[in-house]
A and B are shown apart, each in its own frame.
Chain A
Amino acid sequence: EPEVTQTPSHQVTQMGQEVILRCVPISNHLYFYWYRQILGQKVEFLVSFYNNEISEKSEIFDDQFSVERPDGSNFTLKIRSTKLEDSAMYFCASSDWGSGGLNEKLFFGSGTQLSVL
């Protein structure tokens, strides 16, 4: 079964450093997402991406965050200057949205645990 892959599984960084989280969505999907979950809290939407541009973003997704699809397979989340409160599990997802019927759902990667020290 096709799956979303994320690298690295764990990332430790110093406050103020830049990090790039990488994802390879399912190949025929068109919508890509980043979500995060701070320990003990809800899964929070960050951003959705379609047709090489951001389609929706949340209040969390401020100027410190950016996303990119540098080639036909990778989808990255960059945090320019990490803060302590950015520590969370970051999930990439892709969707078969637009296929019609009841088949729209998100397929998640296994996540990147980001720890900002």
Chain B
Amino acid sequence: DQQVKQNSPSLSVQEGRISILNCDYTNSMFDYFLWYKKYPAEGPTFLISISSIKDKNEDGRFTVFLNKSAKHLSLHIVPSQPGDSAVYFCAASAYNGNQFYFGTGTSLTVIP
């Protein structure tokens, strides 16, 4: 049961341009969403999160947008840098649980 979906397995972007990674979810009980970045041979590291009470959260070059009606969130990276090349996972959780559900990941390549 894929409750969190990342439909684009890969994305290539030119350095300096915007990277947009998308994520969809099916469970209307989810109210907290996170993005993780993963380099090869390392564990996922937390990047940015957003609560369902907000529709946007910004941290430096990273902005997460949440559209609750569409059950969709996106991560914008601008400007993209070669060091941003990694696999990005979207994750979600519900207030009444302590489990995080992950998407399959999107591999971002930023071309110098």
Contacts and interface: CB of A to CB of B under 8 A. Distances in A.
B44 A41 contact: no
Contact of B102 (A43, A110, A111): A43
Interface stretch (A14-22, A62-70, A71-79, A100-108): A100-108
Nearest to A55: B98
A45 B99 contact: yes
Interface residues of A, number: 27
A25 interface: no
B103 A110 contact: no
A105 B34 contact: yes
A4 interface: yes
B43 A4 contact: yes
Interface string A5-20: 0100000000000000
Interface string B87-102: 0010101000111111
